[in-house]
Amino acid sequence: MSTGARILASVPRQSDTPFVEELPRLLAERGLSQRKLAQMIDVNPSHLSRALRGADQTRPSLALIRRIVHVLDLPPGYFPELREAAVLERIRRDNELRDELYKRLNLGSIEPEQLPDKK
C-alpha cells in the first residue's frame, strides 16, 4: 500500500475538532507546510497564516475551508464548520424543517432574550 493510500485509509469520515485545530495535525500527517498548502490552494501564505491564528479578527471562510478539503482529498463534511453550515443552509431553505426542529428542541419555551444574538 502506498503512503498516500495509507494516509487516506487512516482519515476518518469526519472530525469533531475545529478546523483551525485539526488542520495543523493534517498538515503534519502529510508532511506539508502552511506555505505549501497556501500554494496548493492559490492563496497568499500570510492570509492563510492570519486566518489560522485568528489575527486581525480574520477567520477562515467556508470557501477557504472547502478549497482545503478539496486539495487534501478529505470528505466534503470532514470539518464541523462545513457540516454546521450545510445544516443551517438547509434549515434556511426548508421552513417545515425549521419549524419541526424548533418544536423538537422545545425552543418555544425560551424567552427571546435567552436566544443568541445574530452576528
How far apart are the C-alpha atoms of 63 and 74, rounded to whole Å? 15
Does 112 have pLDDT greater than 70? no
Q: What is the pLDDT of residues 25-82, one digit of tens each?
A: 999 999 999 999 999 999 999 999 998 888 877 789 999 999 999 999 999 999 999 9
Residue 100: is its pLDDT beyond 70? yes
What fold, for 3-82?
434 Repressor (Amino-terminal Domain) (1.10.260)
Residues of the chain with CATH 1.10.260.40: 3-82
Identify the band that residue 110 occupies on the pLDDT scale cut at 50, 70 and 90.
low
Q: What is the pTM of this model?
A: 0.76
